[in-house]
Amino acid sequence: MNPPVLPGHPHIAYQGADLYLEGVRLADLASHFGTPLFVYSQAAMLAALSAYQRGFAGRDAQICYAMKANSSLAVLQLFAHQGCGFDIVSGGELERVLAAGGNPATVIFSGVGKTRAEMRRALDAGIGCFNVESEAELDVLNEVALAAGQRANISIRVNPDVDAKTHPYISTGLKDNKFGIPHDRAVAAYRHAAGLGGLRVAGIDCHIGSQITEAGPYLDAVDRILDLVEAIEAQGIAIRHLDFGGGLGIDYHGDIPPAADALWAQLLGRIDARGFGRRRLMIEPGRSLVGNAGVCLTQVLYLKPGEHKNFCVVDAAMNDLPRPAMYQAFHQIVPLATRAAAPATYDVVGPVCESGDWIGHDRSLAVQAGDLLAVLSAGAYCMSMSSNYNSRPRAAELLVDGTRVHVIRERETVADVFRHERLLAY
């Protein structure tokens, strides 16, 4: 049997019958560290980042990793070492950046529901900018900053009402989404912000969605945002930086998004043509930096034939890999060792007590109980969204650098899961 083709995964390949990530045989990692197990390629992350760096060569630009995609400390440390800033959406994410050695001055704080405590902590840490998402938030942040004797740098996240043509749960730029200030309210919001003593207007921000695979929505958003900048600056309010968010997709299942450098060549051409080429640029990629760098290794527990469906029951579940259950998302599933046997069609499912606990539908696999599988494109929105549902400990994480293997998160124990719970005192 010929090994499966793995498009979009240059750092994952079969050598003979065995699947390798960089220079490491994945079956050896599963045997030593157990399953479920997340394994990431450092080379894949750096290659994805280099495409953005090439795209912004010679520009005044800051790449801020959208860490909600994968917030493991070693991953943050890797990007900080490469000069990245960070896009955060909670106080907890700020603490992770600081623990990983990130520079708080390169942090952008996004999110629709920042608390006063989070605002104060971010001000005290010296973050670079708040992306403000409502007019009410402007007033609250102003109060917090004045009470702290500081001025908060702000950009307003504008909702440009652009369809990113992605899953509705990860679309963020339409007028019915909860994010940002409506396009037709933006100028008034900037006038209001400019009159508040605790705020300093720094820039403008938009983010239209995630897993975007076409350049068109980005180009539409650029034009609408630059129109607004002209209108805002006509009011005497300077906009020093332009933040176009992130959202570039990856190849999960034949999706062919533009390469980051090719995309930004188009966008910068549009920005230059409008006369804004010398402005400072901010972007916030997440999935496109880490998504295809990761795999989740899992073991086949049982094969369960049925009248209408055959089930391949594995030890990874929706608590480890929530994207299929949440978004009906596709992840390619391949064996760690190919076998010369006729394949059968299976639904690959986990052990969690939910019908929604599935990893893949109608997959052609030549497997038997005890075999090991790799769920590809698992570097983004898997571990960061994982849970302890059914009291399942979260998986371990490894980072591979060539032939070197680093344990970046130890496997949880059941005792870890309920460590902070307390029994009643009878």
How does pLDDT run across 257-292, given as a tens digit for each residue?
Answer: 899 999 999 999 999 999 999 999 999 999 999 999
Q: Is 353 a catalytic residue?
A: yes
Assigned architecture for domain 110-285: Alpha-Beta Barrel (3.20)
**pLDDT at residue 94 tops 60:** yes
CATH 3.20.20.10 range(s) for the chain read 110-285
pLDDT computed for residue 167 by the predictor: 41
Q: For 211-230, write each residue's pLDDT tens digit.
A: 888 888 889 889 999 999 99
Cβ 107 vs Cβ 88: under 8 Å: yes
Q: Are 55 and 300 in contact (CB under 8 A)?
A: no
Model confidence at 186, in pLDDT bands (50, 70, 90)?
very high
Of the candidates 84, 206, 353, 382, the residue annotated as catalytic is 353
CATH code for 12-41+291-417? 2.40.37.10
Residue range(s) in the chain whose domain bears CATH number 2.40.37.10: 12-41+291-417
Q: 């504008």: which residue's tokens?
A: 158
Mean pLDDT computed over 56-77? 97
Overall pTM > 0.75: yes
**CA-CA distance, 33 to 407, in Å (whole number)?**
9
Query: Which DSSP symbol is given to 349?
Result: E
| Least trusted range by pLDDT, from 29-43, 149-163, 400-414 | 149-163
* Maximum distance among all Cα pairs of the chain, rounded to whole angstroms: 73
Q: Span 114-133, mean pLDDT?
A: 98
Q: Please, which residues have CB within 8 angstroms of residue 140's CB and are 6 or more apart in sequence? A: 116, 119
The pLDDT of residue 5 is: 73
Using CA atoms, how far residue 227 sits from 172, 187, 221, 333, in Å, is 20, 11, 10, 45
Q: Are 386 and 395 in contact (CB under 8 A)?
A: yes
